[in-house]
Structure 1
Amino acid sequence: MKSAVIGFPRVGKLRELKFASEKYFRGEITKENLEETAKELRKEHWELQRNAGIEYISSNDFSFYDGMLDMTVLLGVIPEEYKRLGLDEHGTYFAMARGYQGKEGDVKAFAMKKWFNTNYHYLVPELNDGSQIHLSGKKPFEEYEEARALGIETKPVIIGAFTFLKLAKYNGSRTALDFAEQTARAYIQILAKLNELGTKWVQFDEPALVTDLSKEDIELFVSLYKIILKQKNNVKVLLQTYFGDIRDCCKEVLALEFDGAGLDFLEGKKTLELLKENGFPKDKILFAGLVNGKNIWKCDYAKTLDLFSKVKKYAQNVILSTSCSLLHVPYTLENETNLKSEVKKHFAFAKEKLLELHELSIIADSSDFEAFSEYKNNKVIFNAERLYEDKAVREKVAALSEADFKRKTDRKEREQIQKAKFGLPLLPTTTIGSFPQTQEVKKNRSSYRKGEIDRETYDRQVFAFIEECIREQEKLGLDVLVHGEYERNDMVEFFGENLAGYVFTEKAWVQSYGTRCVKPPIIFGDVKRISPITVKYSEYAQSLTKRPVKGMLTGPVTILNWSFPREDISLQEMAYQIGIAIREEVCDLEKAGIRIVQIDEAALKEKLPIRKNEWYSEYLDWAIPAFRLCHSRVRPETQIHTHMCYSEFEEIIRDIDNMDADVISFEASRSKLTLIDALKANGFETEVGPGVYDIHSPRVPAVEEITQALLKMLEKIDKNKLWVNPDCGLKTRGIPETIASLKNLVEAAKVVRN
Structure 2
Amino acid sequence: MKNSIISYPRIGALRELKFGIEKYFKKESSKKELLDLAKNLRKTHWQSIQKAEIDFVPCNDFSLYDNVLDTAVLFNIVAKRYKALNLEPLDEYFAQSRGYQGQNGDVVALAMKKWFNTNYHYLVPECDDAEAISLVGDKIFSEFQEAKEQGINAKPVLVGIFTLFKLINFIDESAKEKAKEKLVKAYIALFEKLNLLGAEWVQLDEPYLVYDLDEKEIALFEEFYKELLQNKKGLKILLQSYFGDLRDIYSKLLENDFDGLGLDFIEGKESLTLLEKYGFSENKILFAGVVNGKNIYKNDYAKTLNLIQKIQKYTQNIVLNTSCSLLHVPYTTKFETKLDKAYLEHFAYAEEKLNELKELKEILQSSHPNSHKFFIQNQELFKNAPNKIDAKVRQRVANLQNSDFIRKPEFKTRAKTQQELLKLPLLPTTTIGSFPQSPDVRSNRLAFKQQKISASSYTEFNQNKIKECIKIQEEIGLDVLVHGEFERNDMVEYFGENLQGFLFTQNGWVQSYGTRCVKPPIIWGDVSRLKAITVSWAKFAQNQSSKIVKGMLTGPVTILNWSFPREDITLKESTQQIALAIRDEVLDLENAGIKIIQIDEAALREKLPLRKSDWHKEYLDWAIPAFNLVHSGVKEETQIHTHMCYSEFSDILKEIDAMDADVISFEASRSNLNLLDTLKAVNFQTAVGPGVYDIHSPRVPSVEEIKETIRKILAKLPKEQIWINPDCGLKTRGYEEVLASLKNMTQATKEIREELKG
Taking a change above 3 Å as real, the CA distance of residues 646 and 131 of structure 1, as seen in their structure-2 partners, is farther
Matched letter for residue 23 of structure 2 = K
Q: 1:173 & 1:281 partners in 2: Cα distance? A: 38
CA–CA distance in 2 between the matches of 1:462 and 1:696?
A: 25
> Within the alignment, does 1:266 sit opposite 2:272 as a pair?
no
Q: Which amino acid aligns with 1:589?
A: L
For 1:499, give the aligned amino acid.
Answer: L
Q: Which runs of 5+ in 2 are unaligned?
A: none
Letter in 1 for 2:500: A
Cα contact 2:130–2:179 (8 A) shared by 1: no
**SS in structure 2 of the partner of residue 715 of structure 1:** helix
Q: What SS does the aligned partner of 1:238 have?
A: strand
Determine the C-alpha separation between the residues in 2 that align with 1:231 and 1:622: 48
Q: Which digits, 9 at most, give the CA deviation of each residue in 1:249-273, with x for residues without a partner?
A: 0122111111111111111111111
Q: 1:384 Cα shift? A: 2.6
Query: Structure 2: how far apart are the matches of 1:465 and 1:553?
Result: 19
2:484 aligned partner: 484
Aligned counterparts of 2:596 and 2:354: Cα–Cα separation in 1? 48
- The match for 2:465 is 465
The DSSP-based 3-state class of the residue aligned with 2:665 is strand
The yes-or-no answer on 1:291 pairing with 2:291 is: yes
Query: Structure 1: which amino acid aligns with 2:348?
Result: A
In the alignment, which residue of structure 2 is the partner of 1:561?
Answer: 561
C-alpha distance after superposition, 1:535-587 (max 9, x if no partner):
11110000000000000000000000000010111111111110011011011
What is residue 627 of structure 1 aligned with on the other side?
Answer: 627
Q: Which amino acid counterpart does residue 562 of structure 1 have in structure 2?
A: W
Mapped pair 1:237 → 2:228 = no
Query: Which residue does 2:513 correspond to in 1?
Result: 513
Map of 1:414 onto structure 2:
414
For residues 466 and 145 of structure 1, the distance between their equivalents in structure 2, rounded to whole angstroms, comes to 53
Question: By how many angstroms is 1:489 displaced?
Answer: 0.2
- Return the offset for 1:177: 4.7
Give the C-alpha shift of residue 387 in structure 1: 3.2
Displacement of 1:369: 1.5
Structure 1: segments with no counterpart, 5+ residues: none
Which AA in structure 2 matches 1:60? Answer: N
Q: Distance in 2 between matches of 1:597 and 1:177?
A: 49
Structure 1 residue 131 displacement after superposition: 4.8
State the match for 1:332 in structure 2. 332
- Output the CA distance in 1 between the equivalents of 2:463 and 2:154: 53
CA distance in 2, matches of 1:217, 1:490: 40
User: Partners of 1:302 and 1:434 in 2: how far apart?
Assistant: 45
Report the Cα distance in structure 2 between the residues aligned to 1:365 and 1:210, rounded to whole angstroms.
Answer: 32
Larger displacement relative to structure 2 (499-508 or 130-139):
130-139
Deviations 1:365-398 (A, max 9, x none): 2231133211100011122343321111111111
Query: 2:130 & 2:210 partners in 1: Cα distance?
Result: 30
Instruction: Give the 3 Å change call, closer, same or farther, for CA 272–452 of structure 1 in structure 2.
Output: same
Instruction: Please list every run of at least 4 consecutive aligned residues from structure 1 whose deviation after the TM superposition is greater than 6 angstroms.
Output: none
Aligned residue for 1:441? 441
Question: Secondary structure in 1 aligned to 2:294?
Answer: coil
Counterpart of 1:80, as a letter, is K
Contact 1:129 1:173 in 2 (8 A): no
Task: Compute the TM-score of the two structures, normalised by the length of structure 1.
Answer: 0.99
Corresponding position of 1:703:
703
CA distance in 1, matches of 2:219, 2:552: 48
Instruction: Tell me which residue corresponds to 1:93.
Output: 93
CA deviation digits over 1:337-371, x for unaligned, max 9?
Answer: 11111111111110000000001011112231133
**How many corresponding residue pairs?**
754
In structure 2, relative to structure 1, the CA distance for the partners of 1:300 and 1:177 (3 Å cut) is farther
Q: How does 1:107-256 map to 2 (within 5 A)?
A: 107-128=107-128, 130-174=130-174, 176-256=176-256
SS at match of 1:183: helix
3-state SS of paired residue (1:490): coil
Deviations 1:624-676 (CA, angstroms, capped at 9, x unpaired): 00001111111111100000010000000000001000000000000000000
Equivalent residue, structure 2, for 1:323: 323
Structure 1 residue 309, shift from structure 2 partner? 0.9
Tell me the distance in 2 between the aligned counterparts of 1:549 and 1:259.
60
Rounded to whole Å, the distance in 2 between the matches of 1:359 and 1:579 is 39
Q: Does the 8 Å CA contact 1:7/1:58 hold for their aligned counterparts? A: yes
* 2:432 counterpart letter in structure 1: I
Tell me which amino acid in the other structure corresponds to 1:548: I
- Normalization by structure 2: what TM-score? 0.99
Task: Determine the structure 2 residue equivalent to 1:640.
Answer: 640
The one-letter code sitting in structure 1 at the alignment partner of 2:61 is: D
The answer for the alignment partner of 1:549 in structure 2 is 549
What is the DSSP-based 3-state SS (H/G/I as helix, E as strand, rest coil) of the residue aligned with 1:288?
strand
Tell me the SS of whatever aligns to 1:742.
Answer: helix
Instruction: After TM superposition, list the pairs within 5 Å mapping 1:36-51 onto structure 2.
Output: 36-51=36-51
Residue 347 of structure 1 pairs with residue 347 of structure 2 = yes
Shift of 1:233: 1.1
The question of whether the paired residues in 2 share the 8 Å contact of 1:166 and 1:176 is answered with no
Residues 1:737 and 2:737 aligned together? yes
Q: 1:176 Cα shift?
A: 4.5
**1:132, CA displacement in angstroms?**
2.8
Who is 1:654 aligned against? 654
Match of 2:719 in 1: 719
Match of 1:614 in 2: 614
Contact 1:469–1:484 under 8 Å retained in 2: yes
**2:405 corresponds to:** 405
Distance in 2 (alpha carbons) for counterparts of 1:372 and 1:33: 47
* Cα distance in 2 for residues equivalent to 1:175 and 1:485: 46
Deviations 1:68-119 (A, max 9, x none): 1001100101111000111111110000000011121111111111111111
| Distance in 2 (alpha carbons) for counterparts of 1:385 and 1:731 | 37
Contact 1:59 1:156 in 2 (8 A): yes
Separation (CA, whole Å) in 2 of partners of 1:733 and 1:699:
10
Distance in 2 between residues matched to 1:708 and 1:176, nearest whole Å: 30
- Taking the aligned partners of 2:521 and 2:47, their CA distance within structure 1 comes to 29
2:610 is the counterpart of 1:590: no
Judge conservation of contact 1:177–1:220 (CA < 8 Å) in 2. Answer: no
Whether contact under 8 Å (1:389, 1:526) holds in the other structure is yes
- What residue is the counterpart of 2:502 in the other structure? 502
Contact 1:405 1:632 in 2 (8 A): yes
What's the CA shift for 1:174?
A: 2.4
Aligned to 2:604: 604
List per-residue Cα deviations over 1:180-205 (Å, max 9, x = no partner): 22111110000001011011111000
Q: Does 1:525 align with 2:525?
A: yes
- How far, CA to CA, are the matches of 1:443 and 1:131 in structure 2? 52
- Greater shift after overlay, 4-13 or 276-285? 276-285
Which amino acid letter does the alignment assign opposite residue 315 of structure 2? A
CA contact 1:329–1:349 (8 Å) conserved in 2: yes
Distance 1:208 1:44 in 2: 31
- Would you say the 8 A contact 1:444–1:461 is kept in 2? yes
Q: What's 1:21 paired with?
A: 21
Q: In the aligned structure 2, how far is the partner of 1:274 from the partner of 1:549?
A: 54
Moved more, 403-412 or 540-549: 403-412
Deviation at 1:280, TM superposition (A): 1.1
Identity of aligned residues (%): 57
Contact 2:405 2:632 in 1 (8 A): yes
C-alpha distance in structure 2 between counterparts of 1:405 and 1:516, whole Å: 35
* Map of 2:429 onto structure 1: 429
Alignment match, 2:69: 69
Q: Secondary structure at the match of 1:590?
A: helix
Contact residue 668 and residue 691 of structure 2 kept, 8 A: yes
**Are 1:453 and 2:424 counterparts?**
no
Which amino acid in the other structure matches residue 450 of structure 1?
A: Q
Q: Which amino acid aligns with 1:666?
A: F
Moved more, 642-651 or 388-397: 388-397
Amino acid at match of 1:313: K
Q: Which residue is 2:394 aligned to?
A: 394
Corresponding letter in the other structure for 2:721: K
Q: Which segment drifts farther, 361-370 or 216-225?
A: 361-370
- Amino acid paired to 1:352: E
Q: By how many angstroms is 1:175 displaced?
A: 6.3
Please say if residues 286 and 317 of structure 1, whose CA atoms lie closer than 8 Å, have aligned partners that are also in contact: yes
Corresponding position: 1:276 with 2:266: no
Partner SS for 1:202: strand
The answer on whether the counterparts of 1:180 and 1:220 sit within 8 Å (CA) in structure 2 is no
3-state SS in 2 of match to 1:220? helix
